[in-house]
């Protein structure tokens, strides 16, 4: 484990006592400073290491006709926990989706009764030290941030419990649909850790700090109606049967994919950028995306048609 040295004379105003005091302090600018510097390992090296922790699969299928891809989490015997090799499968799936020019949408779902029970505890037990944890976090941050930023519109279908890392995975999609049996719980605190896959940051973006803090602190599992009331779920499917619920999720997504791929991609890029960067930077991005489409073929065609939006 690499720790940066904390000098006794450094202007640190307060140290956390009896807990993480050796790795975290509050500096003179009233900002938290983490003194732990994780290993500087590249994601491809982490993938080589993590693919050896086997079990289950994450499968990607792309339908060029509808423009909708399906990411399927398939590890029902471990309640769809993500093993190291599944984390690598997901990383590869996102790489492939980044190159899918004709795609517009993604449905992320799993098989069986549980959406995802988080990290596979068999993998977790083999990497149970700060440096290995940092590597897992690096891989999952890379994968889930790129999933979140894809120019495709993503929906997670939560048909059972989404726990720990499973709840974090759900927050990396643009939308979440629950079945009546769907539940979500940020149980990391009960496991003696915090969110390791970027879900804490995304939860604050989704719900605001108070609601996010309450869910993280209590680790309580919330059912579909409350998830909708909080704004964490975007709807509840009529059916709890998996095949039918997946079909409903596709139907729910379809009206949002009516524009040409380049427009869907551009609109998603504006929204994804706005949630990730400061205001002025986001406006600059919006100007640039707009300018690239202004006077283009689709724009000229629409102008010629003299469309009325009555
Ligand atoms: C690494 C990221 C980290 C984070 O920062 O968030 C995490 O995600 S930590 C993991 C957090 N998740 C958990 O702690 C889940 C623990 N599991 C459960 O609470 C329950 O198993 C369940 C998910 C509610 C399902 O309950 P049930 O349907 O009654 O099934 P069983 O309990 O009998 O489980 C069947 C089978 O599956 C194994 N299992 C379940 N979850 C995991 C997991 N996360 N990793 C590995 N294996 C898991 C469970 O041990 C059973 O196996 P057998 O005993 O061999 O049958």
What lies within 8 Å, CB to CB, of 125 at 6+ separation is none
Among 117, 136, 203, which is best to mutate for testing ligand 1, by the most ligand atoms less than 8 A from CB? 117
Which residues, other chains included, contact 7 with Cβ-Cβ below 8 Å and sequence gap of 6+? none
Residue 50: strand pairing partners: none
Residues 283-288 have a mean pLDDT of 97
Q: Give, using CA atoms, the residue closest to atom 48 of ligand 1.
A: 78
Q: Which residues of 122-137 are buried (b: 16+ CB within 10 A; e: fewer)?
A: ebbeebeeeebbbbbb
Q: Which atom of ligand 1 is nearest to the CA of 193?
A: 5
pLDDT single digits (tens) 19-62: 555 667 778 888 888 878 889 899 999 999 999 999 999 999 99
Q: What global pTM score does this model have? A: 0.92
The mean pLDDT value for 209-222 works out to 98
The residue whose CA is least distant from atom 15 of ligand 1 is: 117
The complex scores an ipTM of 0.97
Residue with CA at minimum distance from ligand 1 atom 13:
117
- Taking CB atoms and a 6 Å cutoff, what residues make up the pocket around ligand 1? 78-79, 81, 114, 117-122, 124, 161, 163-165, 168, 187-188, 191, 193, 195-196
Q: Are 11 and 2 in contact (CB under 8 A)?
A: no
Tell me: the pLDDT tens digits for 120-173? 999 999 999 999 999 999 999 999 999 999 999 999 999 999 999 999 999 999
Nearest to 149 by CA among 198, 212, 88, 89: 198
Q: Can you state the angle between helices 279-293 and 261-274, rounded to 10 degrees?
A: 170
Using the predicted structure, report yes or no on whether residue 9 has a pLDDT greater than 50.
no
């Amino acid at each position: 484990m690499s720790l940066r040295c904390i000098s006794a004379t450094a202007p640190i105003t307060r140290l956390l006592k009896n807990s993480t005091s050796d790795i975290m302090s509050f500096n003179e600018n009233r900002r938290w400073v983490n003194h732990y510097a994780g290993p500087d390992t590249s994601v491809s090296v982490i993938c080589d290491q993590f693919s050896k922790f086997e079990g289950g699969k994450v499968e990607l299928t792309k339908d060029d006709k509808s423009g909708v891809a399906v990411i399927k989490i398939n590890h029902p015997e471990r309640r769809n926990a993500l093993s190291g090799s599944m984390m690598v499968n997901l990383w590869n799936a996102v790489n492939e989706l980044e190159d899918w020019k004709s795609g517009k949408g993604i449905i992320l779902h799993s098989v069986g009764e549980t959406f995802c029970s988080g990290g596979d505890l068999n993998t977790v037990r083999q990497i149970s030290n700060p440096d290995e944890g940092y590597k897992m976090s690096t891989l999952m941050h890379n994968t889930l941030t790129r999933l979140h930023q894809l120019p495709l519109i993503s929906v997670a279908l939560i048909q059972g419990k989404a726990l720990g890392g499973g709840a974090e995975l759900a927050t990396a999609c643009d939308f979440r649909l629950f079945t009546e049996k769907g539940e979500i719980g940020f149980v990391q605190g009960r496991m003696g850790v915090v969110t390791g896959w970027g879900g804490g940051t995304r939860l604050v973006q989704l719900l605001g700090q108070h609601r996010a803090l309450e869910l993280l602190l209590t680790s309580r599992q919330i059912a579909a109606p409350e998830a909708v009331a909080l704004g964490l779920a975007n709807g509840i499917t009529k059916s709890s049967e998996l095949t039918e619920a997946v079909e409903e999720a596709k139907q729910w997504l379809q009206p949002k994919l009516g524009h040409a791929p380049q427009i869907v991609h551009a609109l998603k890029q504006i929204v994804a950028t706005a949630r990730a960067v400061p205001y002025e930077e986001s406006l600059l991005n919006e100007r640039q995306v707009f300018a690239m489409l202004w006077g283009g073929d689709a724009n000229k065609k629409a102008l010629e048609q003299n469309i009325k939006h009555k």
